[in-house]
Homo-oligomer: A and B are copies of this chain.
Amino acid sequence: MKRPYEKEGTDRLNRKRFAVILVRPESPENIGLAARAMRNTGFEEMRLVGLKALDPEATRTAIHSRSILDRARFFPTLAEAVADRHLVLASTARFRKTFTVLPLEESVRTVLAFPRIARVGLVFGSERTGLSSEELGAANFVFYIPQASTQPSYNLASAVLLTLFALFSRSAGEIVARESLPIPRKEQEDCLRLIIRKLERKDFIHPGNRIHVTEMVQDLFGRLALTEKDRRFLLALLDKATD
């Protein structure tokens, strides 16, 4: 059965203007997982700094996301990789004396405050060394992802995923939260009345408990926000039970 995913033409964030920039990534697995995270959240452009080519191992983890790797662009330096960007955000797991560091949530709000045509670079450093101070200096904003403990920092692909998901979920207004439509409230209430009548006929309801049982029925079946399928099933069940 289909699941709800973003409908065509609902990309309010204009994700094509984003580039995910990985600086000297050491693990091909992480590059592949970053590509998969991009596909999951609808981002397309990957840039790689300090690599000349991709290790074939990267394709193992890039399930259904090979095309992102195929179109990845290679840059010798971070300065070249961000040259065409209007706005550059760099991720850090370690605080520096010099740079003001925003938490992920605030960095997302920062991005969303700029015009939806601004070209944005999201920069992530290597697994082992992160970004150098010089590389942080190439960014307009430096951000971190909150965590519970000092160690370990988020895995590289995890940092990419959390960042892209935070952007995606704030811009994907067209994903319907629930698949199923409740029946109109009048029909829900008709159904509740029918249930109560069935319970009366079986003497489950009597003057001493009428109000209490009625309220229990309203609460229990109200919370279900009954669909057509629920109603049919529930009434059939009660007919059987009160036979």
Copies in the complex: 2
* B33 and A149 within 8 A (CB): no
A5 CB-CB contact with B under 8 Å = yes
Q: What separation, in Å, do the CA atoms of A161 and B156 have in the docked complex?
A: 13
* A5 and B149 within 8 A (CB): yes
A6 CB-CB contact with B under 8 Å = yes
Q: What separation, in Å, do the CA atoms of A171 and B143 have in the docked complex?
A: 20
The secondary-structure label for the interface of chain A is loop
* B178 and A148 within 8 A (CB): no
Q: What separation, in Å, do the CA atoms of A65 and B147 have in the docked complex?
A: 14
Q: A168-B148, A169-B105 are in contact. Are A2 and B95 (CB under 8 A)?
A: yes
Which of A36-44, A45-53, A115-123, A187-195 binds B?
A36-44
Task: Write out the residue numbers on chain B whose beta carbons fall within 8 Å of the beta carbon of A5.
Answer: 146-150
**Residues of A participating in the B interface, judged by any CB pair closer than 8 Å:** 1-6, 29, 33, 36-37, 39-42, 61, 63-65, 92-97, 100-103, 105-106, 144, 146-155, 157-158, 161-162, 165, 168-169, 172, 175, 177-180
